[in-house]
Amino acid sequence: MTARRPAPARAVAVHVLERVARDDAFADLALEAALARRPLDARDAALATELLYGTLRWQRYLDWVLAPHSRRALSSLDTRVLALLRLTAYQLVFLERIPAFAAVDDAVALAGGKPGVAGFVNAVLRSFARRGAPEREPTPPADVVEALALRCSFPSWLAERWVVRFGADEARALMLAMNERPPLTIRANTRRLSPEALAERLAREEGRTPRPTPYVPEGLVVDHGGGPPASWRVFADGDCAIQDEASMLVTHLAGAQPGDTVADVCAAPGTKTTHLGQLMANLGRILAFDRDPERLARVRESAARLEISIVETREGSVESLAPGLAASCDVVLVDVPCSNLGVLRRHPEVKWRRQPADLAESAVSQRRILSAAAGMVKPGGRLVYATCSLEPEENDAVVSDLLAVRADFAPDPPRTFPIALDATGTLRCLPHRHGTDGFTAVRLRRTL
């Protein structure tokens, strides 16, 4: 009898899970590379994506519920074996439409030919599949935060931080929101067409039914399914860009006007850069910095596709480029590299890699970048500092340090804004409250 071939979606998903665990690969890039080598039809590609990201989001919870069924500690298992166990447990717990026998059989087939491995995988998963009701769990620890971290599948240190800051109920809501599949949000290139006209094109050409975003007029939320956005004709034509609404709100906060000189000092891949150009009606000048030439090339490609001709790219660090542009910019956007702890919906592997010490380490470079960028702002000009992080060390503390040494800067919150700013004038986009990625941003004005 010919052995049953595993479903291609599961084969791709477990391969990428291995790469993420073994090589510290980014899940999105590893999946893109895997699908380039082994193209799948739209349905299988969607399943591979769901399996990969779902397993990564719920990794700790899956280990917790799997552990009683394994005679060996999960931490001692081979990378591939552990990936197969997690992947299959995710299907059995969270995906009701997938038959248990198919998920288990594929895991056994994918386990490889090493003696005893397939039998071990089969034994663990058969036991797990017989565990009873899907919601049945091992006894949770007595510690409230630890139990919350296990059930929400988060590192204990991060769960504890959020419980202290938000309270247990809101921390739970935030963690669960971070485990959801993020919406597919796009920005209409209003220099070419209206959001309504873009929605009509998507309905006609792609069979999609977009709906407006709640906070910015140029945004649309598109249902998942079908081909990726990069394959759409409207994308190739330059009619839209892929951008979360929180990211669009940061660009709106900058308040750049037609004719302004604007610097985007951490510009790649160019999403906010081109949004700035769009809001400026392609009038003025945008200086886009990045130290990586390949990433800077993506800024140029994006600007060309969207027909934003006012973008000038500059290769190099902010610290090296800023002195040559002292006090010359009406607006400077500083969207710094950070821990990425606000975008765990899109990059779930990040939460398993970060440690508390990483926040202080990030803040060192963030202070340096913000200080250099501040020198580019002309008197009366604006400085916007943003991160895709919710953590105070990377946001409030960095801005406070700048204000402590630069008396010529002061908070400059807009009078009105789509999302209410907090008492300090800071924009805090939270997935569980706003349905967006997690972003923090503040606008300052140079007074002298």
Q: Where are the domains of the chain?
A: 8-129, 144-178, 184-242, 245-446
Q: Which ranges of the chain have pLDDT less than 70? A: 1-4, 132-135, 226
Dihedral of the alpha carbons of 50, 51, 55, 61, in degrees to the nearest 10: 90
| In the block, residue with structure tokens 């994006």 | 302
Closest to 126 measured CA to CA, from 89, 181, 178, 175: 89
CA atoms within 13 A on the CB side of 380: 2
Which SS3 state, helix, strand or coil, does residue 356 take?
helix
CB proximity list for 435: less than 8 A, separation 6 or greater: 183, 214, 245
**What number does CATH give the domain 245-446?**
3.40.50.150
What would the two tokens of residue 439 be? 């972003």
- Amino acid sitting at position 141: P
Please give the C-alpha separations between residue 437 and each of 165, 291, 335, in angstroms, as whole numbers. 18, 25, 14
| In the block, residue with structure tokens 């249902």 | 223
User: What DSSP line would sit under 4-69, residue for residue?
Assistant: PPPPHHHHHHHHHHHHHHHH---HHHHHHHHHHHS---HHHHHHHHHHHHHHHHTHHHHHHHHGGG
- Amino acid sitting at position 152: C
Segment (H or E) for 382:
strand 377-387
Question: What is the spatial distance between Cα 148 and Cα 155, in angstroms, rounded to a whole number?
Answer: 10
Contact yes or no for 432/395 (Cβ under 8 A): no
Bridge partners (DSSP) of residue 290 are 315
- Amino acid sitting at position 294: E
User: What DSSP line would sit under 301-317, residue for residue?
Assistant: HHHHHTT-TTEEEEES-
Closest to 14 measured CA to CA, from 100, 60, 79: 79
Question: What is the spatial distance between Cα 68 and Cα 128, in angstroms, rounded to a whole number?
Answer: 9
Task: For the beta carbon of residue 73, count every other beta carbon within 10 angstroms.
Answer: 8
Contact yes or no for 383/409 (Cβ under 8 A): yes
The CATH fold assigned to 184-242 is: Alpha-Beta Plaits (3.30.70)
User: What DSSP line would sit under 179-228, residue for residue?
Assistant: TSPPPEEEEE-TTT--HHHHHHHHHHHH----EE-SS-TTEEEE-S-SS-
CA quadruple 81, 85, 88, 94: dihedral positive or negative?
A: negative
Per-residue confidence (pLDDT) for residue 2, from 0 to 100: 43
Segment (H or E) for 426:
strand 426-429
* Per-chain mean pLDDT for the chain: 95
Per-residue confidence (pLDDT) for residue 274, from 0 to 100: 98
Closest to 120 measured CA to CA, from 83, 71, 159, 87: 71
What is the end-to-end Cα distance of the chain in Å, rounded?
Answer: 82
Contact yes or no for 112/83 (Cβ under 8 A): no
Bridge partners (DSSP) of residue 416 are none
What's the maximum distance between 2 C-alpha atoms anywhere in the chain?
A: 82
Angle between helices 59-66 and 117-129 (to 10 degrees): 90
Question: What is the spatial distance between Cα 257 and Cα 36, in angstroms, rounded to a whole number?
Answer: 41
Please give the C-alpha separations between residue 263 and each of 245, 303, 304, 338, in angstroms, as whole numbers. 21, 15, 18, 19
What residues act catalytically?
A: 388
Which SS3 state, helix, strand or coil, does residue 348 take?
helix
Q: For 8-129, which CATH class?
A: mainly alpha
Angle between helices 293-305 and 271-279 (to 10 degrees): 40
